[in-house]
Amino acid sequence: MYSIDSRSAIPVYEQLKRQIVLSIVSGRLDEEEKLPSIRELAAALRINPNTVAKTYRQLETDGYVSSRKGLGVFISAGVRELQSNRIEIFEELTDEYISKAAGLGLNADEIIKGLAGRLKGEIEHD
């Protein structure tokens, strides 16, 4: 479900955090759903449990999850509705896309045109 990019210079806990936030905001993880225990996630990804703990702590500070003593870490209610989260992640994804597209040598107009075309196709397809 989650994968760590070994090549990336982004620290593991940061990568994991982003992926979990993405899962939450995109709806793949429901509200009130329990995240895997630190031990399970660390073992599955073969990462340091302290790293997972750090990720969960950070998520809690940012308000995405709350930890219930003895039970685990659960996704907070009302998180999906938080527009600010959606927008922040969307902006990040878009920036990434734009820089990659520009790397192909396309200019702004070409990118917008191409994007509009694809979107139309995607939406009609749905």
Partner 1 sequence: MIRMSNLSFAYGEREILKDFNLELNAGETVMITGPNGMGKSTILRLLAGVLIPQSGEIDHGYPKGTDPRQKTAFLPDSLSFYRSMTPLEAAKFHAGIFGTEPSDLELAKRAGVDLSRHIYELSVGQRVLVQMAIILSTEPELILIDEVLHSVDPYLRDILFRELIQVMEEKNPTVVMVNLNFHDIEHLADRVIFLGRDGIRLDESVDLLKAKTRRVVAEEIPPEYPVLLTENVMGSRHHIVYPFDKKIGDIADENIREMDLTEIMTAFMGGEYGVS
Q: Which residues here bind partner 1, judged by CB under 8 A?
A: 4, 6-9, 11-12, 38-39, 42-43, 45-51, 103
For residues 28 and 39, which CB has a smaller minimum distance to partner 1 in the complex?
39
Q: Please state, in angstroms and rounded to a whole number, the distance separating the CA atoms of residues 44 and 1.
A: 10
For residues 4 and 111, which CB has a smaller minimum distance to partner 1 in the complex?
4
Q: In whole angstroms, how close is the CB of 14 to partner 1 at the nearest point?
A: 9
Name residue 66's beta-bridge partners.
74
Q: In whole angstroms, how close is the CB of 100 to partner 1 at the nearest point?
A: 10
